[in-house]
Amino acid sequence: MSGPPGKFNIGWLRGYTVVYLIFIYLPILLLPIFSFNDGIYVAFPMSGFTFQWWAEMVSQPGMHKALWNSIAVAVPVSLISTILGMMGAKALTSYPLYGARALTGMFTLPLVTPFLILGIALLITFKNYGINLSLFTVGVGHVLICVPFSLFVLLSRLESFDRSLEEAALDLGETPWIVFWRVTFPINMPGIVASLLLTFTISFDEFLLAFFLTGDASTLPIFIWSQLRFPVKLPSVLALGSAILVVTVFIVVVAELLRRKGSTRSTGKVI
């Protein structure tokens, strides 16, 4: 005799899912919780509620500089990777390119190469050509890893984009360049914004490449890492981490919503 085959499995699956979710989110939740704890040790029982660490974090001298450095890298990186990603996605979807699949595969290679290796390789390359390490070299490294993300976000957009809209615009007398700005760009705007937000957060959070490629100027993740050497700084790092977490989650959710909204609407097909 055997019971309904699905029941048993689903019970287990449910349990597994709950454990998995706790595993993912509990450590992350500890960050904001302990950033309000009145004590320097991250351990239960908590000793009281305080804003002290958030205040300390905000007034931290190196923090502002590092935050500014990170933004100064992430903004151009997101713009440049999105432009490059757009050009790649446009080429891959517009023409019957020979070897398009292989090409797409090649573009993804930086994603699966360990960043450790990538960081060392870039470091050696820059040193070889006598290029001094700076925020610029960090930016170059970040573009390298951001372009594949941008490419994939925009590829999934452009694949559902009706190319006859571009032909219609050409037919109505506009040159390809104007067609891009009057038709392709506005219709694929949600995908472009999603790509900008995604690549911004990737660059903003990235540690390993920045660690290898930055000179004296440190980005925010590197600043955080350097702070961890001092136990008394830990709670204010938790506060900073919480702040970054909130902003990042917000941006990623917005990006994803935009990406989805875009791909169901505005394909130009009769619904």
Residues 51-80 that bind another protein (CB under 8 A): none
**What is the smallest separation between the CB atom of 270 and another protein, expressed in angstroms?**
6
What string of DSSP letters covers the chain?
----HHHHHHHHHHHHHHHHHHHHHHHHHHHHHHHTBSSSS--SSP--B-SHHHHHHHH-HHHHHHHHHHHHHHHHHHHHHHHHHHHHHHHHHHS--TTHHHHHHHHHHHHHS-HHHHHHHHHHHHHHTTPPPSHHHHHHHHHHHHHHHHHHHHHHHHHTS-THHHHHHHHTT--HHHHIIIIIHHHTHHHHHHHHHHHHHHHHH--HHHHHH--SSPPHHHHHHHHTTSGGGHHHHHHHHHHHHHHHHHHHHHHHHHHHHHHHS-S-S--
Of 231-270, which residues contact another protein (CB under 8 A)? 265-270
Q: Which is nearer to another protein, 239 or 258 (CB)?
A: 258
What is the smallest separation between the CB atom of 91 and another protein, expressed in angstroms? Answer: 18
Q: Shortest distance, CB of residue 173 to another protein, whole angstroms? A: 5
Distance CA 48, CA 30 (A): 15
Q: How far is the CB of 195 from another protein (least distance, A)?
A: 18
Binding mask 140-179 for another protein (x = CB under 8 A): ----------------------x-xx-xxxxxxxxx----
Binding mask 178-217 for another protein (x = CB under 8 A): ----xx--xx------------------------------
Residue 50 or 267 having the CB closest to another protein: 267
For the CB of residue 267, give the shortest distance to another protein in the complex, in Å: 7
- The residue among 38 and 167 lying less far from another protein, judged by its C-beta, is 167
Does position 38 interact with another protein (CB under 8 A)? The reply is no
**Site residues for another protein per CB under 8 A:** 162, 164-165, 167-175, 182-183, 186-187, 265-271
